[in-house]
Structure 1
Amino acid sequence: MSTPMSMPTITNFQKKSAPFSSFQFMPEKIRFETQEAGEQIILLLRKHWITTLPWIASGLILFITPPIIFPIIGLSGMLPGFIPSGYLSFIFAGWYLLSFGFVLVNFILWYFSVDIVTEERIIDISFSNILYKKLSETRIRKLEDVSMRTGGFIRSVLDFGDVHLQTAGNEENFEFLAVPHPREIVRIVNELMGKEEEEGEK
């Protein structure tokens, strides 16, 4: 059972709970399947929005390709004569259906693959595909060290990077990859670790 705790003393952030945000601090009206009674979510994290650009760009290319390519093929006479022109509508529909599916699957993988920091636990929910979900968790009191790594011009300018959480013993280590505001994340987790130590000494 969780015990009440004060909000981490964060100066740069107020409560953030925008539904598509990659960094949500003290989000409201958000629950996860293993959440305990009274357990408060401190952070909900996704990969930085910049990491979605490759599949967004690919999706845009897929969507604009047919109106450009098919007229060229038709005018050049490259379209086989045995294919009725009416079939082109089915080809268009199939192309756009697959393109939409590509974008939707990538969005689902990004949106639902989250890292959650509560007042007591670290929870990692990751999807390698839409049919396979992996859920890992550890208690804050089992963390030994928290560090961050940023590198490169883009990461520095957009303020995102990787956060590494080392656990005690044979416990699985955790990584928050390409998340926004890594310094603030380390700061918050360190404060939570300090509160756990204080409570353990009482």
Structure 2
Amino acid sequence: MSQQQPARLLLVDPSSPADTSLAPSLEEGGFELTCCTEAEAVVALQDPDVWIDLVVVCSDLNDDQLQALRGAAGSVPLLLLGSRDPERALNAGADDVLRQPFGLAELLARCRALVRRRQLAMPCRTVLRCGPIEMVVEEHEVRCGGERIRLSPREFRLLRFLLEHQRRIWPREELLVQVWGELEGPSLDPKTVDVHIHWLRLKLENDPSNPRLISTVRGRGYRLG
């Protein structure tokens, strides 16, 4: 991960996620933060469009709750704060436990160590760029002009294909086959491509009515770059 892309952290506080006092300190420490309840964390971790580097749980959870988080998190590390029984928490799925009392410096150091350990275990990232657009394929992340853009899975696949084949003109029928697949694509209305290109322009272009990034080549198709 580059320095311009802070680690994304889920801060789980079942009692009061919106008001937890740790949030400002973690953000000042360089993390991109989302505060949530345990149930919201499970949903977020199961969303393939959401990339999360670390889950920090602010209160002691029972074994079932921890195991639910562990199952949803996959390879995302879990740091449990304030556990009265660290051995039980580690056996139930936590990757690390920080007992009370602890200092902010130690908390930030533990968070960074867990994120770093995960990054070292991950394969090299594939980064695709065109002008202000940057896509990190493995993280399912797209930024435009530094701003994070949320795309549907199909929009992501279409943009990825265009980024991998910049400057080439692609007819709608060929995009259907390449992005939607050889089985589904030929049976779809070519206007399906027009709709998805329109959605991409709304999210990426400064002026979608006068696109500069994804252009239309009249009578031939679409081109990126």
Shorter-chain TM range is under 0.3
Rg bigger for which structure?
A: 1
* TM-score, length of structure 2 as denominator length: 0.23
More strand by share: 1
* TM-score, length of structure 1 as denominator length: 0.25
Per chain length, whose mean CA-contact separation is higher, i.e. which structure has more relative contact order (CA < 8 Å, sep 6+)?
A: 1
